[in-house]
Amino acid sequence: MRIVHVLLTKRFAGTERHVIELTAAQADAGHEVILILRRKAARRRADAIVHRVDPRVRVVMVSDWLARWPAVVMARWLLPRLRPDIAHAHLGSACRALRGARTGCPRLATLHIGYVPEQHAHLDGLVAIAPWQLPTIPSPLRERSVQIDNWTVPRTPSADARTRLRAQFGIGQDEFLFGALGRMEHSKGMDLLLDAFHAADLPGARLAIVGQGEAWRALRQRAGAAVVMPGFVERSEDWLAAFDCFVSSAREEPFGLVLLEAMQAGLPVVATATAGAVHLAPLIGTPLVPTEDVPALSRTLAAAHAARPARRRYDLDGHRVQAKAAELERYYVQARRRLAIITAR
């Protein structure tokens, strides 16, 4: 199949990792894969997107001068000329690009966050990343949609990652390091984590909050000396190797890809009871903390600090990209058959 993915963001984060891993797996399976990106995704900076794309995936750039709308319009114009068998969008601008695009093929999107009528109602089908999303999709679109879990790809950290990063940021090799990884935005609840960590007042404990975003500066101002905030990092697997316990204090988390990444690293996990974490609770194996409950989160951090749980092996065989890409391919085939039947009427 010729599969065209549309991703019109400009900075690398969880959704972008999902798309890059998926396109690589599809190319590995023998498909012709094309990825439409904004030119800002190719700028010379650490959190750019284009340099991470598998070389077997053809990248097509669209202009984004002034605002995102020229990129949306150009992607919509470009799609029919690429003659895809499947057009697959990721996030809002990409979904808007599929509106009115005369592709002659199924126009699909992944629900990386949640169903939004303006973004998704005009499409031929949706891929929900967690079961809770399916009931939010109105019928008959829900009957043309599918639920496929997210995945994780094993990444080996640098051999000296733990020692090097701790030395670089002044973290003692014996200090217990809580770690969080994600965008610095309200939904991720990093402010709640700071409050809970300070309230716990744990001697010999440190906290690292890794990532960037609009709230980074405000969080840094209130973080204090015991908290490390390196900003965006190229190799998150190195920081996962440096952590002793992973914490997700999110207010909202549709799936929680970062939770899979933490479990891939073998870390004990403290997580708030977002929809994504509830879905992954059987894998996580420890009780979830109520969302936005700082005292409860503080008590859970104190308990983890006292217990100092060891790393463990999680059963993640069902969350590998090859298996999920195969599920998605079967859905593509069904979507093409469905469209062929409708067209023949």
pLDDT at 345 > cutoff 80? no
**Domain ranges for the chain:** 2-151+320-344, 161-318
Helix axis angle, 257-264 relative to 14-28, nearest 10°?
A: 70
What is the rounded CA–CA span in Å between residue 242 and residue 233?
13
Residue-averaged pLDDT of the chain: 95
pLDDT at 63 > cutoff 60? yes
> Looking at the domain covering 2-151+320-344, what would its CATH class be?
alpha beta
Q: Which residue has the higher pLDDT, 44 or 151?
A: 151
The pLDDT of residue 44 is 86
How many helices (H) and strands (E) the chain has is answered by: 12, 12
The pLDDT of residue 340 is 81
Same fold for the domain at 2-151+320-344 and the one at 161-318? yes
Topology of domain 161-318, per CATH? Rossmann fold (3.40.50)
pTM of the model: 0.91
